[in-house]
């Protein structure tokens, strides 16, 4: 193992669980053309030549005066995007908004906006009756799909319904599990969701407006996330 490879491996161990990004020959060429700068590794969901939020930067290599990349410096505030996490392509606008919000690349207000006019799909039995479930505590919940592809292949049939209409039909306190068996899901009581959707200005709601993501400890991005303290913002040199 070369000295540079050993140093990079050590930096990767200190930078968390994200794998060390590749340093391609094309990137080395760019480094030789820009001595004394930084060579950035950008999340694949973003255009590296466009505007990139700080939390979409994996890290950077310092480029010395000879155009040689140094030891990779990981960004501790990096958030892998749905594409970087290899999540399945979203099936619909709600699924796309949920993926972005759950990974910290979108706001929950966008999920509300997508749900506002959404048609969802309900698993029903052979008689066309809505199937209700109970969790371990005895609380009632229903499963809601944003697209039929999120449903089990054994479901007798799926009933399309406007989400806004469904919320008025369910008893208060009924939990709704959206895409419960998919990679990104949402669990919320119908009364909470109904109140959130009735907000006159959902775009101003904060990150706590729509609780209930599975694995909901993933934060949504602040309006302006800081860059890693050791790494200059993209587009600036080290000076």
Radius of gyration of the chain (CA): 22
Pairing of strands 140-144, 175-178: parallel
Band of pLDDT at residue 132, cut at 50, 70 and 90: confident
Residue 222: pLDDT over 70: no
- The pLDDT of residue 201 is 56
Residue 8 contacts residue 18 (beta carbons within 8 Å) = no
Mean pLDDT of the chain: 80
Most confident stretch, 7-11, 17-21, 74-78: 74-78
Residue 27: burial class (beta carbons within 10 Å; 0-12, 13-18, 19+): middle
CB half-sphere exposure, 223, CA atoms < 13 A: 4
Of 66, 68, 61, 75, give the one whose Cα is nearest residue 16: 75
- Convert the pLDDT of each residue in 51-90 to its tens digit: 999 999 999 999 999 999 999 999 999 999 999 999 999 9
- The pLDDT of residue 17 is 60
Alpha carbons 21 and 155: distance in angstroms, whole number = 42
Residue 179 contacts residue 145 (beta carbons within 8 Å) = yes
Of 95, 90, 137, give the one whose Cα is nearest residue 115: 95
Contacts of 201 (CB under 8 A, 6+ apart): none
Residue 144: pLDDT over 50: yes
Here the tokens at position 181 are: 């068996």
- The pLDDT of residue 137 is 87
Here the tokens at position 75 are: 């960004």
Of 183, 187, 215, 225, give the one whose Cα is nearest residue 85: 183
Could you list the beta-strand ranges (E) of the chain.
38-42, 57-62, 73-74, 119-124, 132-134, 140-144, 157-162, 175-178, 186-189
Alpha carbons 98 and 109: distance in angstroms, whole number = 10
- The pLDDT of residue 47 is 92
- Convert the pLDDT of each residue in 162-215 to its tens digit: 999 999 999 998 999 999 999 999 999 999 999 998 876 555 444 333 444 443
> What are 99's strand-pairing partners?
none
% of the chain beyond a pLDDT of 90: 61
Q: Calculate mean pLDDT across residues 20-33.
A: 93
Alpha carbons 146 and 108: distance in angstroms, whole number = 16
Kindly list the structural domains of the chain, giving each domain's residue range(s) and its CATH number in brackets, ordered by start.
Answer: 3-74 (no CATH), 93-204 (3.40.1350.90)
């Amino acid at each position: 193992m070369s000295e540079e490879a050993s140093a990079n491996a050590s930096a990767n161990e200190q930078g968390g669980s994200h794998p060390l990004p590749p340093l391609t020959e094309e990137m080395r060429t760019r480094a030789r053309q820009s001595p004394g700068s930084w060579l950035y590794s950008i999340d694949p969901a973003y255009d590296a030549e466009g505007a990139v939020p700080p939390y979409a930067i994996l890290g950077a290599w310092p480029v010395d005066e000879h155009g040689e990349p140094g030891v990779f410096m990981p960004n501790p505030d990096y958030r892998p995007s749905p594409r970087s996490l290899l999540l399945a392509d979203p099936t619909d606008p709600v699924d796309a908004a949920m993926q972005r919000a759950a990974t910290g690349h979108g706001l929950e207000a966008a999920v509300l906006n997508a749900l506002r006019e959404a048609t969802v799909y309900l698993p029903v039995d052979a008689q066309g009756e809505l199937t209700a479930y109970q969790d371990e505590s005895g609380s009632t919940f229903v499963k809601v799909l944003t697209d039929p592809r999120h449903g089990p292949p054994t479901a007798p049939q799926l009933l399309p319904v406007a989400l806004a209409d469904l919320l008025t039909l369910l008893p208060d306190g009924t939990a709704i599990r959206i895409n419960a068996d998919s990679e990104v899901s949402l669990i919320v009581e119908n009364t909470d969701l109904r109140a959130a959707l009735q907000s006159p200005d959902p775009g101003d709601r904060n990150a706590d407006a729509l609780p209930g993501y599975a694995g909901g400890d993933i934060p949504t991005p602040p309006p302006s996330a800081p860059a890693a303290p050791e790494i200059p913002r993209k587009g600036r040199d080290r000076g």
